Amino acid sequence: MKTQLQLPDQTLRLQRYPYIEGSDLQAWSAGDEYVYRYLQEQQLDKQQRILILNDHFGALSSMLASNNQVTFMSDSKVAHLALRQNLLLNQLPEVNCLTSIDSINNEYDVVVMSLPKINRMLCWQLTQLRAVLPSNIPVIAVDKAKQIHSSTLKLFEQHLGTTTTSLAYKKHRLIFSFADNASPKQAEEAVSWSATPTPVELSNLANVYSGEKLDQGARLLLEHLPTPSCEPCDVIDLGCGNGIIGIRYKQLNPTSSVTFVDESYMAVESAKRNALSNIGTLDGCNFRVDNCLESAPKESADIILCNPPFHQQNAITDHIAQQMFEDAKNTLRSKGTLRVIGNRHLGYFAALVKLFGREQVSLVTQNRKFVIIDATKR
Ligand SMILES: C[S@@+](CC[C@H](N)C(=O)[O-])C[C@H]1O[C@@H](n2cnc3c(N)ncnc32)[C@H](O)[C@@H]1O
């Protein structure tokens, strides 16, 4: 994996977070280089105030940090941690950091965004920008050319205003847009629906995984929640998304405490709102934005429920599931159980056997698509 980025005026060492020796996933894209080159060509005044949205590993923010006043805004805790790591690695000045729950103000000269994977998030961010930006402030978005469709440009026009695009460079394109639509379309902050037949109503902020319908894996896990081995139990919903798994567990086991953990600020905020509206109280509920269980106290949980991700941005990867399993083992008390659901082809059974030991791992149920597995700590 390349970690050294050579730019015309600086050389940076950039890593993903967490840094994995031998991984072939790079911390920056040709799109980041394209935006940097474009901004240099514009000969921006030094100390321009640049708002950067969705900078996956803080690469673009690091490139711009020494000459500009950078504000970094991301829904991802991993992106926040990567940015901090890359600023330190390169001894760069601090940048101002916002999460996706913070509001955007109008104190910027340029806005740069990497297109989010979820269109609802794009529309929400454009709606926020339209509400505050003067019409002469350029919004520059970047992605792989094949991800930029005429429907993407239409979203910019409808929610923000006048929109054009650049030529392609190393398979990436830029979108240029201005907040001048006089009657813009307004994106909703959250989408709500019922998880029928589970008696839970869910409200999902824009970037929440499976925010418009119940995930199929979650549906099966809801039918096979473990019965508590202790009374009361300390339970973690790891990678909680909108909180459906932990909320249902808490409804069925009101004396247990449930900690909802996700790396997405919008997911944890949605889980909190949903826990309050469905359980009626937040007593016995905790909420944490974390990279897996990095900051969880050791041996503090009896049950961990997990429907792990197998993507990071556009890359298919098992390293997050693997870290979740390792962190879960550290976080469980002796005799505590990790219950995992996954697609059959993902090989979670073998990974859990390697970590917990053959006798400690068992198949709970399976169907054509999914398996549910228990791994119990000795
Ligand atoms: C397959 S979804 C499951 C969501 C929800 N529990 C469900 O069953 O519908 C995986 C979740 O893991 C979260 N996630 C991804 N990477 C993570 C990380 N490094 N640490 C914690 N959570 C992460 C995602 O944001 C997503 O909400």
Q: Look up residue 107 and give its DSSP letter.
A: -
202 and 168 in a common domain: no
212 and 89 in a common domain: no
213 and 172 in a common domain: no
Residue 160 in domain? yes
Query: 45-50 long-range contacts, Cβ below 8 Å, gap at least 24?
Result: 48/109, 48/110, 49/107, 49/108, 49/109, 49/110, 50/108, 50/109, 50/110, 50/111, 50/112
How many whole angstroms from 309 Cα to the centroid of ligand 1?
Answer: 5
Residue 183 in domain? no
How many whole angstroms from 109 Cα to the centroid of ligand 1?
Answer: 34
How many whole angstroms from 355 Cα to the centroid of ligand 1?
Answer: 21
Q: Which atom of ligand 1 is nearest to the CA of 242?
A: 5
Residue 242 in domain? yes
Query: Does a cis peptide bond (omega within 30 degrees of 0) precede residue 134?
Result: no
111 and 31 in a common domain: yes
Please choose from 20, 203, 209 the residue to mutate so as to test ligand 1's pocket, defined by most ligand atoms within 8 A of CB: 209
The more confidently predicted of residues 272 and 42 is 272
What does the radius of gyration of the chain's CA atoms come to, in whole angstroms? 22
172 and 206 in a common domain: no
Residue 182 in domain? no
pLDDT on residue 311:
73
CATH code, 39: 3.40.50.150
356 and 218 in a common domain: yes
Question: How far apart are alpha carbons 271 and 247 in whole angstroms?
Answer: 8
Query: Could you give the number of structural domains in the chain?
Result: 2
Which helix (H) or strand (E) element contains residue 258? strand 257-262
Residue 185 in domain? no
Q: Which atom of ligand 1 is nearest to the CA of 214?
A: 9
Last residue within a domain, chosen from 143, 177, 211: 177
pLDDT on residue 68:
95
Domain range for 107: 4-177
Residues 70, 52 contacting (CB under 8 angstroms): yes
How many whole angstroms from 307 Cα to the centroid of ligand 1?
Answer: 7
271 and 200 in a common domain: yes
Residues 357, 349 contacting (CB under 8 angstroms): no
Residues 365, 217 contacting (CB under 8 angstroms): no
Residues with C-beta less than 6 Å from any ligand 1 atom? 78, 209-210, 215, 218, 239-241, 244-245, 262-264, 267, 291-292, 307, 309, 320
Residue 357 in domain? yes
The first and second tokens of residue 43, run together, are 């000969």
241 and 161 in a common domain: no
Query: pLDDT tens, 98-116?
Result: 999 999 999 999 999 999 9
The more confidently predicted of residues 120 and 314 is 120
Residue 184 in domain? no
Percent of the chain with pLDDT over 90: 92
pLDDT on residue 44:
77
pLDDT on residue 133:
98
pLDDT on residue 341:
98
How many whole angstroms from 293 Cα to the centroid of ligand 1?
Answer: 12
CA neighbor of 1 nearest in space, from 317, 362, 341, 359: 317
197 and 170 in a common domain: no
How many whole angstroms from 372 Cα to the centroid of ligand 1?
Answer: 16
216 and 173 in a common domain: no
Residues 285, 257 contacting (CB under 8 angstroms): yes
Rounded to 5°, the CA angle 373-312-277 comes to 70
Query: pLDDT tens, 278-300?
Result: 999 999 999 999 999 999 999 99
pLDDT on residue 139:
98
How many whole angstroms from 214 Cα to the centroid of ligand 1?
Answer: 13
In this structure, how many other beta carbons lie within 10 angstroms of the beta carbon of residue 216?
A: 15
Quick check: 28 pLDDT over 90? Answer: yes
Please choose from 74, 212, 214, 240 the residue to mutate so as to test ligand 1's pocket, defined by most ligand atoms within 8 A of CB: 240
Q: How many CA atoms lie within 13 A of 158 on its CB side?
A: 12
Query: pLDDT tens, 188-210?
Result: 999 999 999 999 999 999 999 99
135 and 95 in a common domain: yes
Please choose from 263, 269, 313 the residue to mutate so as to test ligand 1's pocket, defined by most ligand atoms within 8 A of CB: 263
Residue 147 in domain? yes
Last residue within a domain, chosen from 177, 204, 223: 177
Quick check: 45 pLDDT over 90? Answer: no
Q: How many CA atoms lie within 13 A of 300 on its CB side?
A: 11
Please choose from 16, 250, 274, 320 the residue to mutate so as to test ligand 1's pocket, defined by most ligand atoms within 8 A of CB: 320
CA 34 vs. chain centroid, Å, equals: 24
Using alpha carbons, list the distances in angstroms from residue 231 to 11, 116, 256: 56, 42, 7
146 and 208 in a common domain: no
Quick check: 229 pLDDT over 90? Answer: no
Confidence of residue 93 (pLDDT cuts 50, 70, 90): very high
pLDDT on residue 310:
84
How many whole angstroms from 168 Cα to the centroid of ligand 1?
Answer: 33
pLDDT on residue 314:
67
How many whole angstroms from 210 Cα to the centroid of ligand 1?
Answer: 10
Residues 285, 256 contacting (CB under 8 angstroms): no
Quick check: 313 pLDDT over 70? Answer: no
Last residue within a domain, chosen from 177, 200, 234: 177
Nearest residue (by CA) to ligand 1, atom 13, is: 239
Average pLDDT, the chain: 96
